[in-house]
Amino acid sequence: MDVKQSVIVPEICHCDFVMHKDGNDMRGLGIFDGDMLFFHAQQTAAPRDVVAFQVDGVTLLRQVVFFEEGRACFQAYPVNMVPPEEYAGPDLEKVRIIGKLVGLSRNI
């Protein structure tokens, strides 16, 4: 991972890494373009968790619909922007959850 800038993380956050949000595909959950997102590094997810995950080298931010043995489904918000992304079988092997969202910071 390339370090692009230093970020001061609030002590209460207890995060492992920070990402800068590009785009408004999660605005229905109050996550907007330009937000700094704080993550706890983990490789598992539960329904309703907002996670950063990678598919074929692309990092995405989505809410988990389900993540169970053999299949997973992730959703962007608002739901009319991007259809649910479902992965099963060999496609699921390409999915790697890298962290769960634990906080955000926004400049106003």
Whether residue 35 contacts residue 23, with contact meaning beta carbons closer than 8 Å, is answered with no
For 14-32, how does the pLDDT look when each residue is reduced to its tens digit (9 = 90+)? 889 999 999 999 999 999 9
Q: Look up residue 76 and give its two tokens.
A: 């962007």
For residue 25, what is the DSSP state? T
Q: How far apart are CA 85 and CA 79, in angstroms?
A: 11
Region 59-72: mean pLDDT is: 94
Read off the pTM.
0.86
pLDDT at 1: 36
- Sign of the CA dihedral 9, 30, 80, 65? positive
Among 70, 71, 72, smallest CA distance to 60 is for 72
Checking if the pLDDT of 42 tops 90, the result is yes
**SS3 assignment, position 27:** helix
Checking if the pLDDT of 9 tops 90, the result is no
